[in-house]
Amino acid sequence: MMSKPVQFSIIGGAGFRAQYYLRIAQALPDRFRVSGMVVRDEAKGQAMQRQWGTNVYPSLEKLLERERPDFVVVSVSRSASPDYLLRLAELSIPALAETPPAPDLEGLLELHERLTLRGARVQVAEQYHLQPIQAARLAFIRSGRLGRISEASVSISHLYHGVSLIRKMLGAGFEEVRIRGMRFTSDWVAGPDRSGPPAEERIVALQRDLAWLDFGDKLGIYDFTKDQHRSWTRSNHLSVRGQRGEIFDNRIRVLADHATPLYLDLKRINRGEEENQEGYFLKGIMAGDQWLYDNPFAPARLYDDEIGIASCLQLMAEYAAGGPEFYSLREASQDHYLGMMIERAIATGETVTAVRQPWAL
């Protein structure tokens, strides 16, 4: 933990995603401080300043005249992100980019040449593998109790987010991948969206995209229905299979020895329930008598996605201070590239091959 709050600035402070960072800093003032935001729209900027009490500037140059951030969060569209990342690299300011860092393969290759190969200090805010349940699953996988992992099926979020979880669960790198895909359309009752609950019952047609990613000796299965992650009537799902057992959602089947199966549950431990007086927050996640995840931000009342993004901020603070990478441009580029190849496989109905890219150093 840092001895004093890390200071970070936000470019694109009026966006939906940027407000995650503001809420996290507000909930964890001993760890994070927002050192100004860049909002080009004057009216939106004034509204943000009133709401969050943070200085707002019309440009990066104006912000840097007054602020000295440890790093800058670039929370803008994928088309606008590369220019900001290049400008920050020229100024030797570490940057935390949003996902994906560029709109297409050409843009990803340009960032590799102009940033990664030149040593720019850039990481990407991919939070899904840092959410408590995914971190617990990964901890169990890394314990070795499942043996060698061969399969992962992920139905949690779209494209590069889902791919990032597939690669993390499989321990996959930058190898060639053969991809088949399909799309199925069905009717369901529309659920909530970013603006809130539905105003009325509506039947809508939604697309379910499926893809099979053949890594050679490992299989990844991608399964996502549009708006699934906000739905009240569709569930997320993740399973991982290894030589000695499997994780299926929150259940674990594993062998103690060849004749002794064990059946465990991933159990969330919350404080503040029943007679507990510690306040309400997630303490961590257990499997049997083993803690797989201990919430580093307790007792702050953050929900899981905010915990994942807070983890990105904490890891970025350590990286900016000279620590290790945690989700590099290379990793983000690979996940976005495979996501684009999934889209191509679905659109064409053909098996496509995702070849090794230059960032596969």
The string of DSSP codes covering 157-177 is S-HHHHHHHHHHHHT--S--E
CATH 3.40.50.720 occupies which residues in the chain?
6-125
| CB contact at 8 A, 87 and 23 | no
pLDDT for the residue numbered 191: 87
- Asked if the 129-300 domain carries CATH number 3.30.70, the reply is no
What is the edge-to-edge ordering of all strands in the sheet holding 251-257? 290-294, 281-287, 260-271, 251-257, 245-248, 237-242, 149-155, 219-225, 203-214, 177-189, 352-354
Q: Determine how many CB atoms are found less than 10 A away from the CB of residue 9.
A: 26
Question: Assign residue 245 a region: left if phi > 0, alpha if psi is -120 to 50, beta otherwise?
Answer: left
pLDDT for the residue numbered 195: 81
pLDDT in tens, 150-209: 999 999 999 999 999 999 999 999 999 999 999 999 998 988 887 889 999 999 898 999
CATH 3.30.360 occupies which residues in the chain?
129-300
Query: CATH class for domain 6-125?
Result: alpha beta
Which residues of 78-176 form beta strands (DSSP E)?
95-97, 122-124, 149-155
pLDDT in tens, 97-139: 999 999 999 999 999 999 999 999 999 999 999 999 999 999 9
Which residues of the chain form beta strands (DSSP E)?
6-11, 32-38, 56-57, 71-74, 95-97, 122-124, 149-155, 177-189, 203-214, 219-225, 237-242, 245-248, 251-257, 260-271, 281-287, 290-294, 352-354
pLDDT average, residue stretch 245-267: 97
* Nearest to 342, CA basis, from 225, 205, 228, 182: 182
Q: Position of tokens 């408590």?
A: 132
pLDDT for the residue numbered 196: 86
pLDDT average, residue stretch 37-48: 92
pLDDT for the residue numbered 300: 96
Q: Which two tokens stand for residue 41?
A: 């729209």
pLDDT average, residue stretch 7-27: 92
pLDDT average, residue stretch 41-61: 93
